[in-house]
Chain A
C-alpha cells in the first residue's frame, strides 16, 4: 500500500494498440484486473482480461438525475467519467461477513470470517476516486482501530490511474482539489491522447512496482511535446468543469447554518432513498446483521452498507434521533463537507458528481451549498 508517488521514473509513450501489453503484464504479475466495462447501459467496474473489454468509443452524458451512454466519434478508451459503481465496493464490500461463531457444547467459539483476497489492479481509476480511497484509508485503517477486512484487501491493490481529459456534466473535482490530474497514490498513471490520427497513452510510474510493470510494455521515450500536450489535456479538462463548491470556511459556514431554511426546502425534494450514499465513493456507514444457519450450529455477523437517510440509522430505544428528512439530508451534507474535516482531517467529498447524477429527483449538492452560503431561500419546482 505504499503508493506515495515518485516522479523520478521516466515517462513513456505507449501506443493505444499496445495497451493490451499493459494488461498482459498485470496479468503476468498475478493481478486480477478490475476496470470500467459496459453493463446494462451504464459504465460500471468489473473484471476484465483484455483491453477489448474496455468501453472504447463510448462516453457518458451526465446531468442532474440523468445518465446516458453514447457513442463517441473516436475510439478513446477512457472517454467517459465515473459511473454508478465506485471502487469502495472492492475494499469495503456492500456485504461482508466479519465474524463467524460456531456452537460448541455449552457455548460457542468465534473466528474471523475466512476469505481469500487476490492481488487486484484497479485499472482506470480516476483521480477523484483515487482520492476517495485515500479518504477511506483514513476512516477505516487510519485511526486507533483498523478494519482488518479493508486492510487485507487494500494491501493487495495496485493502482493504474487515468487522468481525466474530458470531465462530465456533474464533475467538480477542481473545487475539491482531487482532479482532473492524479497527484499521488498511484503505481501507474496514464493520460490518453488522441490527436491527428495518433492515439497514445502517456504512462508514468509512481512506484517501483509500477515501474517494473511498465518496463514490460512496449513504449518509446516521451518527447517534451508529448509531455506538454498531456499536461495541456488535463488543464483543458479543468477549464471545462463548470460546477463548483466554494470551500472557503465551509466547515464553519455549515455548522453555523444548521437551522437554515434551505434544509426544509431540499427535504421537500429529497426522497430519502439513500442513492447518493450508495453511489458515494466515501460514504462508509454500515450496519451489522446476525444470521444463523438452519441448524443453528453456526452464526454469522455480516456488515452491510447502511445510509444516514434511513430512519433506522439513528434509531435508539424510543425512536429515531433524525426523524425528519430535513435532519437526515442536513446530516449527510454536513457530515460530508464539514464534520469530516474534524473527524478525519479532510473533506469527505471528492467532487465526482455521482450523488447529483444518481439522485432520482435531481438534487445538486453544489447548488445546495451555494444556496446555504448565499442565504437565499429559493422555492424549487420538484
Chain B
C-alpha cells in the first residue's frame, strides 16, 4: 500500500503542525444553491503542491477550521481550489468570504488516489454528491495524461438536477470521445432528460476490462457500500477498488482521535483506502 498511496512531503512544518499558512481568496463562485468553490493563493505566488485526493484544514478567523478536500488541478500548484457545501457554521461563513479575504491553510494531508497504480488500466470513477469534488483532481490528471490510461469512465450521481456539481465541465467532458461520462439524478425535476436512479444502476452498463480496471469511489458511506457490491459483481478485485472515507476531523495530523476508523486514522492512513485493506471495517456498523 505504501508504494501506491504515498503522501507528498511538503507543505506544513512538521514541528509546528498547528500553524496555518495564510492564503488569499482569489476567486469565489457559486456551484449550486448550497455549494461554492474558492481559489486560494499565497501572496508570494508559491502556492502548495498536492496530490489528487488530499485535503486541507481551512481556518477562518475566529470561526473555526474544517477539513476540505482539494478539488483543483494538481498541475497548478499555485492555486488551491476547494469546493465546499455550506452546511455548518464554518462552511456557511466561508460562503460569505470575498476576494482578498484570508484563509488559514494547514495541509495537504492524507493519502492520495492511486493515479500511478492506475497507469495502463481502465479507470472507473464513481462519485456521489459532493464526492465529485475530491475526484476532480483525478479527472484532471487522467485527462492530462490520457495516453497512459485505458478507458476512463465517470459515473456521477446527484440528488436532483439542481445538485449537479461542475455542470459545464461535465458537459465538456461528456463531449469527448475518450471519456465516458454518465450522470444520473435520484429525483428528476423540470426539464431533466437524463438518467434517473441511484448511481449504482449505471455500473452494470459500463464497458471495461474487469481484470484491468481500477475503481475510485467517493460519496456517502451507504452509496460506497452499494457501489462496491456492483463493482464486485462486475468482477473487479477488492484490491483494485479505492474508496475515500469520511470521519470527523479536528487536526489532520493523527493527534485528536476523532477520525478513527477501526485502527486507522482517516486523516493520515486515508482518506483514500484500498477496499481489500478495509473491507472488514466498511462492513461494520458504527465503527
A→B interface (CB under 8 Å):
98-99, 101, 103, 106-110, 112, 139-140, 143-148, 151, 255, 258-259, 284-288, 290-292, 296, 299, 301, 306, 308, 313-317, 321-324, 326-327, 331, 335, 338-339, 342-343
**In the complex, chain A residues whose CB is within 8 Å of the CB of B88:** 317
Is B247 in contact with A314, judged by CB distance below 8 angstroms? yes
Between-chain CB contacts (< 8 Å), 20 pairs: A99-B18, A99-B20, A106-B100, A110-B104, A140-B255, A145-B12, A145-B14, A146-B14, A148-B15, A285-B257, A286-B250, A288-B250, A290-B65, A306-B256, A306-B257, A308-B257, A316-B247, A326-B286, A339-B260, A339-B263
The residue in chain B whose Cβ has the minimal distance to the Cβ of A291 is B62
The residue in chain A whose Cβ has the minimal distance to the Cβ of B85 is A317
Q: A316 is contacted by which of B15, B63, B246, B257 (Cβ under 8 Å)?
A: B246
B64 interface residue, CB < 8 Å from A?
yes
| Given contact pairs A145-B14, A316-B247, A107 touches B22 in the complex (Cβ within 8 A) | yes
List which B23-76 residues lie within 8 A (CB) of chain A: 24, 59, 61-65
Is A145 in contact with B22, judged by CB distance below 8 angstroms? no
Is B248 in contact with A314, judged by CB distance below 8 angstroms? yes
| Given contact pairs A317-B87, A323-B286, A342 touches B263 in the complex (Cβ within 8 A) | yes
Question: How many residues on B have C-beta within 8 angstroms of the other chain's C-beta atoms?
Answer: 44
When A and B form their complex, which 7 residue pairs have the shortest distance between CB atoms, in order from nearest? A285-B257, A327-B286, A299-B62, A145-B253, A342-B263, A107-B102, A339-B263
| Given contact pairs A140-B255, A258-B284, A317-B88, A99 touches B62 in the complex (Cβ within 8 A) | no
**In the complex, chain B residues whose CB is within 8 Å of the CB of A98:** 18
Is B254 in contact with A143, judged by CB distance below 8 angstroms? yes
B2 interface residue, CB < 8 Å from A?
no
**In the complex, chain B residues whose CB is within 8 Å of the CB of A259:** 284
**In the complex, chain A residues whose CB is within 8 Å of the CB of B273:** none
Is A313 in contact with B65, judged by CB distance below 8 angstroms? no
**In the complex, chain B residues whose CB is within 8 Å of the CB of A287:** 250, 256, 258
Q: Which of B247, B255, B265 is the most central at the interface, judged by chain A CB atoms within 10 Å of its CB?
A: B255
Give Cα distance in the complex from A331 to B251, angstroms. Answer: 19
Give Cα distance in the complex from A98 to B252, angstroms. Answer: 14
List which B234-287 residues lie within 8 A (CB) of chain A: 246-248, 250-251, 253-258, 260, 262-263, 265, 268, 280, 284-287
| Given contact pairs A107-B22, A339-B260, A321 touches B286 in the complex (Cβ within 8 A) | yes
Is B263 in contact with A147, judged by CB distance below 8 angstroms? no
Query: Taking the nearest CB of chain A, how far is it from the CB of B214, in angstroms?
Result: 26
**In the complex, chain A residues whose CB is within 8 Å of the CB of B120:** none
B19 interface residue, CB < 8 Å from A?
yes
Give Cα distance in the complex from A326 to B287, angstroms. Answer: 11
Query: Taking the nearest CB of chain A, how far is it from the CB of B248, in angstroms?
Result: 5
**In the complex, chain B residues whose CB is within 8 Å of the CB of A101:** 61-62, 104
**In the complex, chain B residues whose CB is within 8 Å of the CB of A335:** 260
B96 interface residue, CB < 8 Å from A?
no
| Given contact pairs A103-B61, A314-B248, A112 touches B100 in the complex (Cβ within 8 A) | no
B→A interface (CB under 8 Å):
12, 14-20, 22, 24, 59, 61-65, 85, 87-88, 100-102, 104, 246-248, 250-251, 253-258, 260, 262-263, 265, 268, 280, 284-287
Is B19 in contact with A99, judged by CB distance below 8 angstroms? yes
Is A343 in contact with B14, judged by CB distance below 8 angstroms? no
Is A139 in contact with B247, judged by CB distance below 8 angstroms? no
**In the complex, chain B residues whose CB is within 8 Å of the CB of A322:** 286
The residue in chain B whose Cβ has the minimal distance to the Cβ of A298 is B62
Query: Taking the nearest CB of chain B, how far is it from the CB of A301, in angstroms?
Result: 7
**In the complex, chain A residues whose CB is within 8 Å of the CB of B104:** 101, 110
**In the complex, chain B residues whose CB is within 8 Å of the CB of A316:** 246-248
Known: A258-B284, A285-B257, A313-B258. 16 other contacts (CB 8 A): A99-B20, A108-B102, A145-B12, A145-B14, A148-B15, A151-B15, A284-B255, A286-B250, A286-B257, A287-B250, A287-B258, A301-B65, A306-B257, A322-B286, A339-B263, A342-B263
Is A147 in contact with B255, judged by CB distance below 8 angstroms? yes
**In the complex, chain B residues whose CB is within 8 Å of the CB of A145:** 12, 14, 17, 253-255
Is A288 in contact with B14, judged by CB distance below 8 angstroms? no
Is A110 in contact with B255, judged by CB distance below 8 angstroms? no
Query: Taking the nearest CB of chain B, how far is it from the CB of A106, in angstroms?
Result: 6
Q: B19 is contacted by which of A112, A146, A258, A288 (Cβ under 8 Å)?
A: A112
Query: Taking the nearest CB of chain A, how far is it from the CB of B100, in angstroms?
Result: 6
Is B258 in contact with A144, judged by CB distance below 8 angstroms? no
Is B258 in contact with A306, judged by CB distance below 8 angstroms? yes
**In the complex, chain B residues whose CB is within 8 Å of the CB of A339:** 260, 262-263
Give Cα distance in the complex from A106 to B256, angstroms. Answer: 32
**In the complex, chain A residues whose CB is within 8 Å of the CB of B87:** 317
Is B20 in contact with A290, judged by CB distance below 8 angstroms? no
Is B62 in contact with A288, judged by CB distance below 8 angstroms? no
Give Cα distance in the complex from A143 to B255, angstroms. Answer: 10
